[in-house]
Structure 1
């Protein structure tokens, strides 16, 4: 039995992953912006607990980290929360996962959700203003490149914490839209597997970019230690919190 946190778990892939793991007997803590985000309160009955906070705000994200730390050290954290064509793309998709990673007790496993669109993200960090995320077109693509690089940086830096990235595909969720062509069921299985599989069942052990249980190609910059370092320095300066 594992203690697992899933962010953005009120609907869609986050809720599906949380339900699958709770059904398997794991202690699952789910996050949402506020209690009203859960359309069916009965979905919370099998969960171990809840945490609430607005991930588009740094104070809201730090409040989530504080609540989560109250449960103890997690076996796994799935950074599922995300927005698409929205001014909050960089705060929610990049800054929030960074802050939670830096402010929470180090879990045994970290799983970050990315997107195939990250391959179109900009590597020009000088053009990115994390404090004014609406100033740049393509913020979603950028945000997913950055969270992918963050995951790979954690995998390289933290020997005792496994870190992976998942591209769940374009699935018919509230964000993906009803016409999305990929399988909704398949969309959450890889992150559930990465969070709960026995030690030694996942190869590579850490630092993988996964799509439907298979290693896939990521943007070359995401694996570049220099790009990772420059990104982390930008995030540390923006948030005032070091990664450690």
Structure 2
């Protein structure tokens, strides 16, 4: 049995992942952004070990979430926002919303939580279209394009996973594209069912097969695939860590 925190597990892929892990006999801590969604999460996965609450659009709540979650064997960074924003939106922290939720929050949780044995960062196949510009991580320049900003954030999730794998060789850290899954985020035209979208994360979290215990890799449906070439750039990896540390005041050590 392993203990697993699944962020964003009140619905969609996160809830399916949590429910599958519980069904396999593992200890699962759910996460929701507020009390109402926490109740929904526990109602859907009643055998979960508990639920922690924290809104990832808030740096202070993300810090509190890291403390509340405590030590886990595995952390699955599932929570994220899609690319449907019609205009650049700032959080109460004054940060661009997609960057804060999709990139900065998993960075901060990674840096603050006790170091787990395995880390899994959800990305998207659109990471292949992402651009990682360390000088404009929050899209302050040029015309806003929500899907491009989303793609960029998903590339940065892969960069983060690979950076952690390199800096923490004792931790298995990978990125997962779950596919185009039929969820609210996936939209009405999505082609793949929820169990398929959760399967790779469950496998990476629990399996001791050699194929599941590699690190610094990009997976889709249990297949080890090449990621956007930018993700392998060590300078970009360290630049992202430095930028996140500067914004949050928390350095990944």
Whether TM-score is above 0.5 comes out as: yes
Give the total of aligned pairs.
Answer: 239
The Cα of 1:42 is off from its aligned counterpart by: 2.4
The Cα of 1:167 is off from its aligned counterpart by: 0.2
TM-score, length basis structure 1: 0.92
Structure 2 equivalent of residue 98 of structure 1: 107
What aligned pairs does 1:102-113 form with structure 2 within 5 A after superposition? 102-113=111-122
Structure 2 equivalent of residue 27 of structure 1: 27
C-alpha distance in 1, partners of 2:232/2:126?
A: 16
What aligned pairs does 1:1-244 form with structure 2 within 5 A after superposition? 1-37=1-37, 38-39=39-40, 41-69=42-70, 73-85=71-83, 86=85, 87=89, 88-129=97-138, 136-137=144-145, 138-198=148-208, 200-202=209-211, 205-244=214-253
- For the 8 Å contact 1:165–1:209, the answer to whether it is kept is yes
The Cα of 1:44 is off from its aligned counterpart by: 3.8
- For the 8 Å contact 1:90–1:133, the answer to whether it is kept is no
**Cα distance, 1:7–1:135 mapped onto 2, change above 3 Å:** farther
What is the CA deviation profile of residues 71-98 of structure 1, one whole-angstrom value per residue up to 9, with x for unaligned ones?
A: xx21100000010124421111100000
C-alpha distance in 2, partners of 1:234/1:14?
A: 28
C-alpha distance in 1, partners of 2:120/2:67?
A: 19
What is the CA deviation profile of residues 134-190 of structure 1, one whole-angstrom value per residue up to 9, with x for unaligned ones?
A: 984222111111111010011111011110110001111011113201232211100
**Cα distance, 1:116–1:4 mapped onto 2, change above 3 Å:** same
C-alpha distance in 1, partners of 2:67/2:8?
A: 16
**Secondary structure of the structure 2 residue equivalent to 1:171:** coil
The Cα of 1:36 is off from its aligned counterpart by: 1.1
The Cα of 1:236 is off from its aligned counterpart by: 0.7
The Cα of 1:203 is off from its aligned counterpart by: 5.1
TM-score, length basis structure 2: 0.89
The Cα of 1:124 is off from its aligned counterpart by: 1.9
**Cα distance, 1:221–1:179 mapped onto 2, change above 3 Å:** same
- For the 8 Å contact 1:91–1:133, the answer to whether it is kept is no
C-alpha distance in 1, partners of 2:68/2:179?
A: 30
**Cα distance, 1:96–1:40 mapped onto 2, change above 3 Å:** closer
**Cα distance, 1:206–1:41 mapped onto 2, change above 3 Å:** closer
